[in-house]
């Protein structure tokens, strides 16, 4: 249990004197009062924060919905908007009400209970986008409010998605889910590449295709589906068989992230070509796959930050047995698979791509991760940068 007057010094000076600021609590926070106890139920991480609080503080907290300036909050709290006017006056005494409001805000800010957004929710996106992305914007705002990014506004993160280019290589059982989730999230430009045609045996797990698409080029059917999923997204479809890094140069040029979900002619060859085409400019998510009850989440290669693909190859190919990547990724063609399971892998990769695009810390760098679908557990092993690596070393 904490008391406002004891810890206000933590954050009381952090706050702006901006007269136009309209503070509000984080959307994920639910407030309950119990006598002189204020409870903040933080639904984002399922923690509960308790404070003792006098009636003035309780009044202030109930007014933090983003519609009032600090001056208005002070005036309304002083007047005792709901009830208990006498008690509020008693609690306030001779104190400077404006200063007390700032102290309360300082404590809430230090505890990550206040929203960091300085602009009204969804400002500047336009009515159509604001409505389309409503639920996602609430989540993005909460990432900002939690301090996971220096960005203060969820709208700012949405704009980064909107301005980004993602490349999905291979749009089958893995890439299809990746592309669909990136389109739903509003990644502004999505380039997809495949050379196959849709087969009936694809449909159980390749989410972009329906019965009517059998026989059609995959990229054409996929582009139609993605455009209908989110009309704010620009889709470029490239029908091409990849035979070397040169075939990838124009595809990855200027991209913010590349997700390699291609496995032809072999998963290992195409992975090496993707790494060669992307290094050292473009982040690439590599080594992905699924077979039977193992999903390979692979690794994120972020030039200048994580171990490179050559380091991953050196580490994983030195192994035998459980972690021998070649046996898992190289033989997945025609391996047993189900849409529910490869969708799980594809969406982890899409989430990683969204983190890279928005500047949220990525989760799959410097490690090799696999999900075992049966116990539903993720196992990871560290992939260190080799100190003498000719690619990513000093």
Binding-site ranges for Zn ion (CB under 5 A): 308, 310-311, 389, 391-392
Burial class (CB in 10 A: 0-12, 13-18, 19+), 212: exposed
For 258, the 3-state DSSP assignment is strand
CB of 384 to Zn ion, least distance (A): 9
Residue 234 CA to residue 275 CA, distance in Å, equals 25
Judged on CB neighbours under 10 Å (0-12, 13-18, 19+), 49 is: middle
Q: Give the 3-state secondary structure percentages of the chain, helix then strand then coil, rounded to 5.
A: 40, 20, 40
Helices (H) and strands (E) in the chain, counts: 15, 13
Work out how close the CB of 312 gets to Zn ion at its nearest, in angstroms, rounded to a whole number. 8
Structure tokens at 253: 């040029």
3, 357, 334, 28: which is closest to 163 by C-alpha? 357
The CB-of-45 to Zn ion minimum distance in angstroms stands at 35
Nearest-approach distance from CB 309 to Zn ion, in angstroms: 8
Nearer to Zn ion among residue 221 and residue 392 (C-beta): 392
Distance CA(59)–CA(64), nearest Å, equals: 9
Q: Could you tell me which residues come within 8 angstroms of residue 272 by beta carbon, excluding any fewer than 6 positions away? A: 309, 313
**Residue 203 or residue 391: which is nearer to Zn ion going by CB?**
391
Q: Using the minimum distance from each CB to Zn ion, give the nearer residue, 148 or 391.
A: 391
Closer residue to Zn ion in complex, CB, 50/305? 305
- Residue with Cβ nearer Zn ion (222 or 392): 392
Residue 345 C-beta: closest distance to Zn ion, Å? 25
Task: Yes or no: say if 53 and 6 are a contact pair by the CB < 8 Å rule.
Answer: no
Q: Which is nearer to Zn ion, 248 or 311 (CB)?
A: 311
Tokens representing 76?
Answer: 């309304």
Q: Please report how close the Cβ of residue 366 comes to Zn ion at its closest, in angstroms.
A: 11
Pairing of strands 189-194, 165-169: parallel
CA distance 366 to 293: 24
Q: Kindly state the smallest distance separating residue 314's Cβ from Zn ion, in Å.
A: 8
CA–CA dist 368, 242 (Å, integer) = 25
State the Cα–Cα distance between residues 311 and 328, nearest whole angstrom: 18
Q: Which is nearer to Zn ion, 76 or 391 (CB)?
A: 391
Min CB(301)–Zn ion separation in Å = 9
Q: Which is nearer to Zn ion, 211 or 318 (CB)?
A: 318
3-class DSSP state of 300: strand
H or E element in which residue 156 lies: helix 154-163
Minimum separation from the CB atom of position 365 to Zn ion (A): 12
Residue 344 vs 391, nearer CB to Zn ion: 391
Place of tokens 């060669």: 276
**DSSP category for residue 19:** T
Minimum Å gap between C-beta 298 and Zn ion is 16
- Per the CB < 8 A criterion, the answer to whether 51 and 103 are in contact is no
Dihedrals φ, ψ of 81, to 5°?
A: -55, -40
Q: Which is nearer to Zn ion, 308 or 341 (CB)?
A: 308
């Amino acid at each position: 249990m904490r008391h406002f007057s004891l810890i206000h010094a933590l954050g009381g000076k952090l706050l702006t004197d901006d007269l136009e600021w309209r503070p509000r609590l984080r959307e994920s926070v639910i407030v309950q009062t119990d006598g002189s106890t204020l409870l903040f139920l933080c639904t984002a991480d399922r923690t509960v924060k308790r404070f003792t609080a006098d009636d003035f503080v309780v009044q202030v907290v109930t007014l933090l919905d983003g519609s009032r300036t600090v001056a208005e909050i002070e005036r309304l709290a002083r007047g005792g908007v709901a009830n208990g006017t006498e008690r509020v006056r008693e609690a306030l005494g001779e104190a400077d009400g404006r200063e007390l409001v700032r102290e309360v805000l300082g404590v809430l800010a230090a505890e990550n209970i206040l929203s960091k957004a300085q602009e009204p929710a969804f400002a500047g996106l336009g009515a159509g986008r604001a409505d389309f992305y409503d639920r996602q914007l609430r989540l993005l705002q909460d990432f900002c409010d939690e301090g996971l990014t220096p960005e203060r506004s969820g709208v700012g993160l949405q704009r980064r998605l909107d301005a980004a280019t993602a490349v999905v290589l291979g749009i089958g059982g893995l890439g299809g889910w990746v592309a669909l989730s990136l389109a739903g999230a509003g990644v502004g430009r999505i380039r997809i590449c495949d050379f196959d045609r849709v087969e009936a045996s694809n449909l159980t797990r390749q989410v972009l295709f329906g019965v009517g698409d059998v026989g059609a080029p995959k990229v054409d059917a996929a582009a139609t589906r993605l455009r209908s999923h989110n009309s704010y997204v620009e889709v470029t479809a490239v029908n091409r068989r990849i035979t070397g890094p040169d075939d990838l140069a124009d595809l990855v040029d200027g991209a913010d992230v590349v997700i390699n979900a291609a496995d032809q002619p072999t998963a290992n060859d195409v992975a090496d070509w993707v790494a060669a085409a992307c290094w050292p400019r473009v982040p690439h998510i590599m080594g992905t796959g699924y077979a039977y009850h193992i999903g390979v989440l692979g690794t994120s290669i972020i030039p200048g930050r994580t171990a490179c693909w050559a380091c991953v190859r050196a580490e994983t190919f030195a192994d035998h047995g459980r972690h021998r990547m070649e046996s898992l990724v190289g033989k997945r063609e025609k391996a047993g698979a189900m849409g529910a399971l490869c969708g799980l892998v594809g969406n982890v990769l899409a989430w990683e791509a969204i983190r890279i695009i928005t500047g949220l810390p990525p989760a799959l760098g410097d490690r090799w991760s696999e999900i075992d679908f049966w116990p539903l557990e993720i196992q990871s092993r560290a992939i260190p940068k080799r100190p003498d690596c000719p690619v990513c070393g000093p």
